[in-house]
């Protein structure tokens, strides 16, 4: 290829990056697993930490040049422990999936059984079985036993789970119970089940990836106090940090976790993201409670309005949601994949969602019955009750009224103009989706 074409490609990549920022500046981002970071978190991510290695534990690194990295990491661990009122924090997992793999490696052997939410009812792929290429089965060789699920309550069925455990033969007893998941409307019954799980020597992990910011903001359950032995999470969903992972636990599990994290699951642990986690923990200690309250109240308003407008919103029996998520069964109008595509034409960004009953109805991940909406990002942009009502109306206009995408796109771009700054942070002079040029 002639050299000048490389420069064209180089420029093209940067234009695509700018186009992406422009798209999100003009969109209503409702992916429940996403959020936007503050300018402070972005600054930490482009620091020189991004170029360094710091394998091991602070003070015991296998490289020189780590004195400032060590100071930040020690601070980061202290902040994580304070935020989650935990005895031990390992801030090195580079994602929620890696954090879960650390738990699998530290507390189970390949061939052991893990009980968790079925993917068809909202379990995460990292909890999945080998046949589905799920991390637990494929990478660590765990066998998966689903928690019985109660569709009306949209939650784990406690009585059926307890019966199931009591009837299980000793050699088939799970070694690990994994709470949490991707579709996560209501707190999971950790408190209700921890005694029985402990009676059978089952390690309890709580995957807080989705609800980490709500737990930190003290507006959701507190898994470690309710009986979880360990808690894993990603750091970029309701917790508005960089993409990354975090593990919290009681002191007695610290050494197992440390070894499984390094050298087990990570070599370098993306030091710039570690620094950005520290900044996120400070922001969350300062602003997390009001943010989490606003997220949950926004989710409730959006769910109630969608319901009033004629949508079948799941979880009605328990008030639709107590988290950042809303799940709608759209199968009366079109499938979840098509709903996702229709909404995207007007810059409303959601994801299709398998919902209970889909597999029996012959649906799969490509054409599930539902869509999932999350309000973490739009709350961080300062949207409140009236905006939730307006967004519900937009969704209705597109899915039920089938209005022209071009007309909707204009309305949505204009609605979006007033929400360009990050809230719940110390410094926000750089706009939320500003493309920052430093080259
Ligand atoms: N798949 C993501 C979710 O949306 O839940 C998390 O990894």
Could you list the residue range(s) of the whole structural domain that residue 256 is in?
42-282
Least confident of 79-93, 117-131, 229-243: 117-131
CB-based contact 232:208 (threshold 8 Å):
yes
Buried b (16+ CB within 10 A) or exposed e, 5-37: eeeeeeeeeeeeeeeeeeebbbbbbbebbbbbb
Closest-CA residue to 235 (of 35, 436, 43, 88): 35
What would the mean pLDDT of 308-330 be, rounded to a whole number?
98
- Whether residue 325 has its Cβ less than 6 Å from ligand 1: no
Give SS3 for 88: strand
Map residue 352 onto helix, strand or coil.
Answer: strand
The best mutation among 31, 33, 133, 373 to test binding of ligand 1, ranked by most ligand atoms within 8 Å of the C-beta, falls on 33
Q: How far is Cα 131 from Cα 295, in angstroms, rounded to an integer? A: 36
By three-state DSSP, how is residue 394 classified?
Answer: helix
pLDDT band at 1, cuts 50/70/90?
low
pLDDT tens for residues 42-63? 999 999 999 999 999 999 999 9
Strand ranges (E), 129-214: 143-146, 149-150, 155-156, 176-179, 203-207
Residue 330 within any structural domain of the chain: no
- Structural contact between residues 91 and 80, judged by C-beta atoms closer than 8 angstroms: yes
pLDDT of amino acid 2: 72
Q: Please give the Cα distance from 239 to 281 (Å, whole number).
A: 9
Q: What's the 183 CA to ligand 1 centre distance in angstroms?
A: 9
Residues 6 or more apart whose CB falls under 8 angstroms from that of 439 comprise none
- pLDDT tens for each residue of 394-436: 999 999 999 999 999 999 999 999 999 999 999 999 999 999 9
Mean pLDDT of 366-371: 96
- Res. 3: pLDDT tops 90: no
Q: Is pLDDT above 80 for 162? A: yes
Give the pair of three-digit tokens for residue 133. 């290429």
Q: How confident is the model at residue 4 (pLDDT cuts 50, 70, 90)?
A: confident
Burial 299-336 (b: 16+ CB within 10 A, else e): bbbbbbbbbebebbbbbeeeebbbbbbbbbbbbebbbb
Is residue 75's pLDDT more than 80?
A: yes
Helix, strand, coil % over all residues of the chain, rounded to 5: 45, 10, 40
Dihedral pair phi/psi, residue 330, rounded to 5°: -100, 10
Confidence category of residue 230, pLDDT binned at 50, 70, 90: very high
Percent of the chain with pLDDT over 90: 98
Q: Which residue stretches of 346-404 are H helix?
A: 376-380, 385-399
CATH of the domain at 268: 3.40.640.10
- The answer to the question of residue 197 being in a domain is yes
Q: How far is the CA of 178 from the centre of ligand 1 (A)?
A: 16
Over the Cα atoms of the chain, what is R_g? 22
Residues paired with residue 179 on neighbouring β-strands, in sequence order = 206
**33 assigned to some structural domain:** no
Whether 247 is covered by a domain: the verdict is: yes
Residue nearest to atom 5 of ligand 1 (CA): 182
For residue 102, give Cα distances in angstroms to 94, 175, 192, 219, 256: 11, 15, 26, 27, 9
CB of 182 closer than 6 angstroms to any ligand 1 atom: yes
Question: How many degrees, rounded to 5, is the angle at CA 338 between CA 333 and CA 340?
Answer: 105
Of 151, 213, 163, 196, the closest CA to residue 354 belongs to 151
Q: How far is the CA of 127 from the centre of ligand 1 (A)?
A: 12
Give the number of the atom of ligand 1 that is nearest the alpha carbon of residue 182. Answer: 5
Structural domain includes residue 200? yes
To test the ligand 1 pocket, which listed residue (124, 185, 245, 327) has its Cβ within 8 A of the most ligand atoms? Answer: 124
Residue 424 inside a domain? The answer is no
Q: Report, as an integer, the average pLDDT of 203-224.
A: 98
pLDDT above 70 coverage of the chain, percent: 100
- Does residue 211 form part of some domain? yes
Distance from C-alpha of 53 to C-alpha of 169, rounded to nearest angstrom:
47
Q: Is the pLDDT of residue 11 over 90?
A: yes
First to last CA, the chain: 24
> Which one-letter DSSP state was computed for residue 277?
H
For residue 75, is it within any domain? yes
Q: How many H-runs (helices) and E-runs (strands) does the chain carry?
A: 15, 15
* Predicted confidence band of residue 188 (pLDDT cuts 50, 70, 90): very high
Q: State whether the Cα torsion 404-410-413-417 is positive or negative.
A: negative
Stretch 102-111: mean pLDDT: 98
Peptide bond into 263 cis (omega under 30): yes
DSSP state of 183: S
Find the mean pLDDT for residues 67-81. Answer: 98
The verdict on the CB of residue 33 being under 6 Å from ligand 1 is yes
Instruction: Compute the mean pLDDT over every residue in the chain, rounded to the nearest whole number.
Output: 97
* Alpha carbon of 393 to ligand 1 centroid (Å): 26
Question: How many folded domains does the chain comprise?
Answer: 1
Report how far ligand 1's centroid is from the alpha carbon of 35 (Å): 12
């Amino acid at each position: 290829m002639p050299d000048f074409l490389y420069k064209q490609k180089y420029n093209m990549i940067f234009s695509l990056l700018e186009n992406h920022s422009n798209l999100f500046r003009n969109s209503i981002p409702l992916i429940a697993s996403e959020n936007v970071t503050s300018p402070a978190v972005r600054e930490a991510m482009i620091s020189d930490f991004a170029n360094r290695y710091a394998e091991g534990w602070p003070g015991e690194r296998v490289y020189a040049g780590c004195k400032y990295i060590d100071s930040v990491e020690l601070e980061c661990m202290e902040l994580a422990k304070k935020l989650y009122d935990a005895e031990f924090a390992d801030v090195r997992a580079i994602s929620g999936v890696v954090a879960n793999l650390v738990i699998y490696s530290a507390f189970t052997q390949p061939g052991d059984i893990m009980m968790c939410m079925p993917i068809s009812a909202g379990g995460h792929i990292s909890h999945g079985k080998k046949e589905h290429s799920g991390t637990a089965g494929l990478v660590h060789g765990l066998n998966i036993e689903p928690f019985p699920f109660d569709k009306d309550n949209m939650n784990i069925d406690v009585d059926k789970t307890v019966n199931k455990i009591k009837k299980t033969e000793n050699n088939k007893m799970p070694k690990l119970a994994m709470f949490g998941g991707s579709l996560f409307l209501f707190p999971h019954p950790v408190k209700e089940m921890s005694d029985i799980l402990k009676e059978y020597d089952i390690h309890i992990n709580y995957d807080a990836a989705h609800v980490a910011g709500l737990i930190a903001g003290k507006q959701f359950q507190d898994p470690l106090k309710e009986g979880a032995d360990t808690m894993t999470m990603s750091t970029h969903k309701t917790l508005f940090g960089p993409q990354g992972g975090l593990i919290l636990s009681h002191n007695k599990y610290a050494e197992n976790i440390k070894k499984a994290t390094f050298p087990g699951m990570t070599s370098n642990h993306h030091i710039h993201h570690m620094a950005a986690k520290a900044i996120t923990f400070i922001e969350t200690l300062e602003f997390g409670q009001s943010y989490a309250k606003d997220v949950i109240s926004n989710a409730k308003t959006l769910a109630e309005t969608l319901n009033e407008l004629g949508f079948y919103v799941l979880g009605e029996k328990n008030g639709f949601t107590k988290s950042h998520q809303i799940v709608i069964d759209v199968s009366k109008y079109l499938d979840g994949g098509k709903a996702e595509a229709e909404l995207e034409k007007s810059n409303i960004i959601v994801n299709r969602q398998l919902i209970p009953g889909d597999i029996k109805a012959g649906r799969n991940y490509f054409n599930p019955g539902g869509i999932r909406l999350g309000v973490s990002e739009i709350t961080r942009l300062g949207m409140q009750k009236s905006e939730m009502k307006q967004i519900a109306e937009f969704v209705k206009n597109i899915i039920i009224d089938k209005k022209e995408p071009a007309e909707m796109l204009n309305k949505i771009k204009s609605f979006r103009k007033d929400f360009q700054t990050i809230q719940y942070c110390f410094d926000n002079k750089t706009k939320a989706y500003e493309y920052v040029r430093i080259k």
